[in-house]
Homo-oligomer: A and B are copies of this chain.
Amino acid sequence: MKLKENERIDDLQYKDLKIIQNEKAFCFGIDAVLLSDFAKGVKKESVVVDLCSGTGIVAIMLEAKAEIKKIYAVEIQKEMADMCSRSIALNNQQKKIKVLNEDLKNIESILGKASIDAITVNPPYKKVGSGIVNDTDTKSISRHEILCTLEDIIQVSSSILKVSGSLYMVHRMERLVDVIATMRKYKMEPKRIRFIHPTVSKAPNLFLVEGIKNAKPFLKIDTPIYVYDEEGNNTKTINEIYHIKNER
């Protein structure tokens, strides 16, 4: 496998999975790993779409964690979709994961309405506004709603999901209101939320949410995830999600 400039191969420390990332582009964080764990309860033999797939981290991890029929990894940026394809080849996941280098606003016409069992998405977190140096910069596109908005994502998800299909999303707490209100607007009822706190004494900064198409309102809250303990080490929960054996 020949790498392009600034690319490196990272070991995902799970089932020998690898991922190609570009040091100058957006590299995955804990949010993507937590999302793939949150979505692993997806029904067997599901057809899944991973939106805003980037380097494919969520699709790659989820395929290894759950018995899935097919995952479509949708990524609009050509160089990111290309890295994703090569990572999938590196992991021998070509039969299960198919990369779609497409604008998510076009995927309804490709995949069809009400055809998908579940969707995962780790979207750009920030609204377009301050802090963007360059609209065509790949890091800005991964972080800001330049090429798609939260509403685009939820609208497309509601359209391509079957009734009772699940949308699994991770987002920042400051956008909780936007996520909840927009999900309800498109009949993707938020049914389960898990909050992620840096430590026990800090407010949550991220949340995981499962919205179910056309479901009745009633929200279940999972136990919280605390990332670090008081000494700054990973908590047991985090080590379990990362498949790190506790040594003590």
A residues adjacent to B (C-beta < 8 A): 173-178, 180-181, 184, 189-190, 193, 195, 197, 200-205, 217-224
Docked-complex contact B173 and A221, CB < 8 angstroms: yes
15 contacts between A and B (CB under 8 A): A173-B221, A174-B218, A174-B219, A174-B220, A176-B180, A176-B219, A177-B184, A177-B189, A177-B219, A178-B217, A195-B195, A203-B221, A203-B222, A203-B223, A203-B224
Contact of A180 among B180, B202, B205, B221 (CB under 8 A): B180
Question: How many angstroms from the CA of A190 to the CA of B178 in the assembled complex?
Answer: 10
Question: How many angstroms from the CA of A176 to the CA of B221 in the assembled complex?
Answer: 10
Question: How many angstroms from the CA of A174 to the CA of B190 in the assembled complex?
Answer: 10
Closest B residue to A174 by CB, please name it: B219
Give the distance to chain B from A149, nearest Cβ to Cβ, in Å: 13
Excluding A174-B220, A203-B221, 17 further A-B contacts by CB distance (< 8 Å) are A173-B219, A174-B219, A174-B221, A175-B219, A176-B193, A176-B219, A176-B221, A177-B189, A177-B190, A178-B217, A180-B180, A180-B181, A195-B204, A200-B200, A203-B223, A204-B221, A205-B221
Docked-complex contact A201 and B223, CB < 8 angstroms: yes
**Residues of chain B lying within 8 A (CB to CB) of residue A180:** 176-177, 180-181
Contact of A181 among B181, B193, B222 (CB under 8 A): B181
**Residues of chain B lying within 8 A (CB to CB) of residue A221:** 173-174, 176, 203-205
**Residues of chain B lying within 8 A (CB to CB) of residue A195:** 195, 204
Question: How many angstroms from the CA of A217 to the CA of B190 in the assembled complex?
Answer: 19
Closest 8 CB pairs of A and B: A203-B221, A181-B184, A180-B180, A173-B221, A177-B190, A174-B219, A181-B181, A203-B223
**Residues of chain B lying within 8 A (CB to CB) of residue A178:** 217
Closest B residue to A197 by CB, please name it: B224
Question: How many angstroms from the CA of A216 to the CA of B197 in the assembled complex?
Answer: 25
Give the distance to chain B from A207, nearest Cβ to Cβ, in Å: 9
Question: How many angstroms from the CA of A200 to the CA of B200 in the assembled complex?
Answer: 7
**Residues of chain B lying within 8 A (CB to CB) of residue A223:** 201-203
Question: How many angstroms from the CA of A221 to the CA of B204 in the assembled complex?
Answer: 7
**Residues of chain B lying within 8 A (CB to CB) of residue A189:** 177
**Residues of chain B lying within 8 A (CB to CB) of residue A202:** 223
Give the distance to chain B from A157, nearest Cβ to Cβ, in Å: 17
**Residues of chain B lying within 8 A (CB to CB) of residue A193:** 176
